[in-house]
Structure 1
């Protein structure tokens, strides 16, 4: 019986650690929607309503080969605020999640693959628009108007 309890305790401990382990480096954005991964994503995503006219303009301004590099931190309140709004904006614009490369960093803004260094990311979140393989612009840490308006401004 003691061995069974010890095994059960070990299993529960590892299961809990796996659920609370920080996401770092290249991350599948679908993990953000899991309640066990982050409680903040779905409520903000559901409540955010991007401006329809700005979305239409954004959709026109983006080239078909546009991609987004997104750097964030699960611990960061700005990331928690803007990341769900960003993904809601892309959905409204009909931009597939496959166009987004999501990289998560720790509190020192480091990740295992060091892409944040390659792209000169010092603050999170950072949303970088890439077109034709080149950086078109970036939104860093906060927005002036809204995520969709600030992205559109980069493309004009």
Structure 2
């Protein structure tokens, strides 16, 4: 009986520790500040700080982006590709001077669903997906991975 109680308390302790360390899965329309929060997305800031975008490509991207371009961005906080590309994408936007208010961020669960279901309207099957819109019309998208870099792939969409 004593061994059974010890085993039970050990299991409860490990279960509690696992719940405390697991980052929450965020879903729905989300403010960008939420993914920058180390408590909800501890992977974001270190990757953002360490990424060095190609300055020449960023300068060209800045010229190529229409002033009123907007971005629809879909991702999953649970997804390793999102964790890789979100910090790079937002670093590139910061360096091009694109205000965050021109980005609509939607997070999906592991089944790639959000409460708003906007991912269905735009045919998002993989995350992350970065969609460039100009006057409400899609100009292109980067899906899940990049060929060269996030800044080079975005620039290629605009040329």
Q: Same fold (TM over 0.5)?
A: yes
Instruction: Name the structure 2 match of 1:51.
Output: 54
TM-score w.r.t. structure 1 length?
A: 0.87
Q: List structure 1 segments (4+ residues) > 4 angstroms apart after TM superposition.
A: none
Tell me, in whole angstroms, the C-alpha distance in 2 between the residues paired with 1:151 and 1:20: 29
State which structure, 1 or 2, has the greater radius of gyration over its C-alpha atoms: 2
Deviation per CA, 1:33-92: give whole Å up to 9, x if none: 111111100000000011111011101111111000000001100000000000000000
Structure 1 unaligned blocks of 5 or more = 1-12
What are the residue-to-residue correspondences of 1:1-156 with 2, within 5 Å?
A: 20-156=23-159
Number of corresponding residues: 141
Over aligned residues, Cα RMSD in angstroms?
A: 1.5
Structure 2 unaligned blocks of 5 or more = 1-15
